[in-house]
Amino acid sequence: MDEQQVRERAEAVCAAIVAGDVSRMSEDISKELKQNLGEVLALLPLPATEASVESIKHGGAAYVVVVRLVGESEDVRIQTRWKDRGGRPTIVEMSHLSREERADSGETTSGDADVADEEQPA
């Protein structure tokens, strides 16, 4: 798994979120996260009108990808952690980095929600 593969999968997830295609998005999340799909979806501003990859950083056995999602009423930055699962990049953790209301109030809140699969020690 390299950065280009992770970027391609992250961009595909972004496209699936904007298209509202949950089943296509869930192809790139771990089976453990799929078991908590409601919690994963709760992190996302749905419907999303725009999604983009902000950054990708490699560290240890994982890549950390920050995604910016724009919904009708809020902008959200989500941090995802990707690991190689079965020979393909897979999201094993998602958490809010920030949420900004798109209303005139200009309020910004930091989310503390996160979702992670239960990994067994290697």
- Residue 113's pLDDT is what? 55
pLDDT at 111 over 80: no
- Residue 30's pLDDT is what? 96
Task: Tokens 């290697």: give the residue.
Answer: 122
Which residue did the predictor score with more confidence, 16 or 110?
16
Q: Are 86 and 104 in contact (CB under 8 A)?
A: no
| Mean pLDDT over each residue of the chain, to the nearest integer | 87
Q: Let me know if domain 3-115 sits in CATH 3.10.450.50.
A: yes
Q: For 55-92, how does the pLDDT look when each residue is reduced to its tens digit (9 = 90+)?
A: 999 988 999 999 999 999 899 999 999 999 999 999 99
Residue 117: band (very low, low, confident or very high) from pLDDT cuts 50, 70, 90: low
**Whole-prediction pTM value?**
0.81
Average confidence (pLDDT) over 30-35: 95
Amino acid at 55: S
The DSSP 8-state label assigned to residue 29 in this structure reads B
Task: Tokens 């980095």: give the residue.
Answer: 97
Dihedral (CA of 20, 100, 77, 50) sign: positive
ω into 47 cis (within 30 of 0):
yes
Of 24-38, 40-54, 105-119, minimum mean pLDDT range: 105-119
Query: Rg of the chain over CA atoms, in angstroms?
Result: 14
